[in-house]
């Protein structure tokens, strides 16, 4: 990839630090993630040893201030790392995304100093990982329709309800849970509470048997009269909805980068395969039909990459990144789906075989169009922004 990117006012020259982060992520993906990625997909298991290594290398707290044990990196570095990890194993990268974009970001941006010292420090170092609990059986990314309740009991909240589709749900030690405290106030009555694994009444439900990102840990969570101390509330009473919306905006950049990585990985495998596979006396890369597919894949991936960097730069420069993050997520997730489908097609019968990886990438790509808000939700967000 060229180290200078230009697009309608976007001028990004990757620094030595950026390139070092990119190389470190690429090396880890190739040496640590690639071996066993097919087996992890089949067994639906991601080993704790690899999670520990990701923490030691700083991938789980990349953007957290060094004050709290993080890497202090910018969002561009995060996008670069997410792309490289996702080229090989989207199950690994989604753990990195949730811990960075949702949990660590939310705590650092809005938590108290006490909350940061107690929870952010171990999260940033990878000693524990976090989960963001918003979705419910009847409310996916709709933060206004929370049935999980947090009744104010004076010095604590009594938490009851169920959360679904929670990434890191089984292995996390710290959970940010969105719940309704004052139903009569609607979205202004919602709070975010920090819940620790092991609190009485907190149960982890069954692990989901998923189409893709099968190595990642996805569970439902059940809360029955869980006593959550008042000091575990993030922000003022009723701040939960704004908290969720803010963290989801950053989360979209992470998922856009994940989608970009899945597309990039599938494209690189297809490019290599097209030069090796022969049909009708010559490599299939010499056939115009294949060339057209590769050209379109490469163009769409580059456009998705620029959208990801545009959103990252908006965030790093403290500009409003609601629209740019939604655009990046909308486009990159479509590119991931389209590219992986074409990758399977280029591979032909081999594309249907697990050892060639692209069938897994196609399955992994689909979730990028669903979590952090479906494609339809991204269009609503974008339309709302451009119609202001």
Task: Say how far residue 365 (Cα) sits from the centre of its chain.
Answer: 12
Same fold, 16-128 and 241-387: no
Supply the CATH classification number for the domain 131-238. 2.40.110.10
pLDDT confidence of residue 233? 98
- Written as six digits, the tokens of 343 are 């990758």
Tell me, yes or no, if 114 is annotated catalytic: no
Beta strand 130-133 with 174-180 is parallel
Helices (H), the chain: 16-28, 37-43, 48-56, 75-88, 90-97, 105-110, 113-115, 121-125, 240-276, 288-316, 322-347, 358-367, 375-386
CATH entry 1.10.10.10 includes domain 241-387: no
Cα of first residue to Cα of last residue in the chain, in angstroms, is 36
pLDDT confidence of residue 373? 85
Torsions phi, psi of 20, nearest 5?
Answer: -65, -40
pLDDT digit string (tens) for the chain, length 388 residues: 445 554 444 557 899 999 999 999 999 999 999 999 999 999 999 999 999 999 999 999 999 999 999 999 999 999 999 999 999 999 999 999 999 999 999 999 999 999 999 999 999 999 999 999 999 987 766 677 789 999 999 999 999 999 999 999 999 999 999 999 999 999 999 999 999 999 999 999 999 999 999 999 999 999 999 999 999 999 999 999 999 999 999 999 999 999 999 999 999 999 999 999 999 999 999 999 999 999 999 999 999 999 999 999 999 999 999 999 999 999 999 999 999 999 999 999 999 999 999 999 999 999 999 998 899 999 999 999 999 8
Buried b (16+ CB within 10 A) or exposed e, 84-93: bbbbbbbbbb
The active-site residue out of 83, 108, 359, 372 is 372
CATH entry 1.10.540.10 includes domain 16-128: yes
Domain ranges of the chain: 16-128, 131-238, 241-387
- Written as six digits, the tokens of 217 are 């840990």
Q: Under a CB-based contact definition with an 8 Å cutoff, are residues 294 and 270 in contact?
A: yes
> How many of the other CB atoms lie within 10 Å of CB of 357?
22
pLDDT confidence of residue 7? 45
By the 10 Å C-beta count (0-12 exposed, 13-18 middle, 19+ buried), 118 is classed as middle
CA proximity to 25, closest of 96, 75, 74: 96
């Amino acid at each position: 990839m060229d180290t200078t990117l230009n697009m309608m006012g976007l001028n990004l020259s990757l620094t030595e630090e950026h390139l070092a982060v990119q190389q470190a992520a690429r090396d880890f993906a190739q040496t640590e993630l690639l071996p066993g990625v097919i087996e992890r997909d089949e067994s639906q298991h991601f080993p704790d040893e690899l999670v520990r290594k990701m923490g030691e290398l700083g991938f789980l707290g990349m953007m957290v201030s060094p004050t709290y044990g993080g890497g202090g990196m910018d969002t561009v570095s995060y996008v670069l790392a997410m792309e490289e990890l996702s080229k090989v194993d989207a199950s690994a990268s989604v753990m990195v995304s949730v811990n960075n974009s949702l949990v660590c970001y939310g705590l650092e941006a809005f938590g108290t100093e006490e909350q940061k010292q107690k929870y952010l420090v171990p999260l940033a170092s990878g000693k524990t990982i976090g989960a963001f609990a918003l979705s419910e059986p009847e409310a996916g990314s709709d933060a206004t329709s929370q049935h999980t309740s947090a009744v104010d009991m004076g010095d604590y909240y009594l938490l009851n309800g169920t959360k679904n589709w929670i990434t890191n749900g089984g292995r996390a030690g710290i959970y940010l849970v969105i719940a309704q405290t004052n139903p009569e106030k609607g979205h202004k009555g919602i709070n975010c509470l920090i819940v620790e694994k092991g609190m009485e009444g907190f149960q982890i439900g069954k692990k989901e048997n998923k189409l893709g990102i099968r190595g990642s840990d996805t569970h439902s969570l059940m809360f029955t009269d869980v006593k959550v101390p008042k000091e575990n509330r993030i922000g003022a009473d009723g701040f939960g909805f704004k908290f969720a919306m803010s963290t989801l905006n950053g989360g979209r950049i992470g998922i856009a980068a994940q989608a970009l990585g899945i597309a990039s990985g599938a494209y690189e495998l297809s490019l290599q395969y097209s030069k090796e596979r022969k049909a009708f006396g010559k490599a299939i890369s010499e056939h115009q039909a294949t060339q057209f597919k590769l050209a379109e894949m490469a163009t769409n991936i580059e456009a998705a990459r620029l959208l990801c960097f545009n959103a990252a730069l908006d965030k790093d420069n403290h500009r409003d990144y609601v629209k740019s993050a939604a655009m990046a997520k909308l486009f990159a997730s479509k590119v991931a789906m389209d590219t992986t489908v074409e990758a399977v097609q280029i591979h032909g019968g081999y594309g249907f075989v697990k050892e060639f990886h692209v069938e897994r990438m196609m399955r992994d790509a689909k979730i990028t169009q669903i979590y952090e808000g479906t494609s339809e939700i991204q269009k609503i967000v974008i339309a709302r922004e451009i119609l202001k």
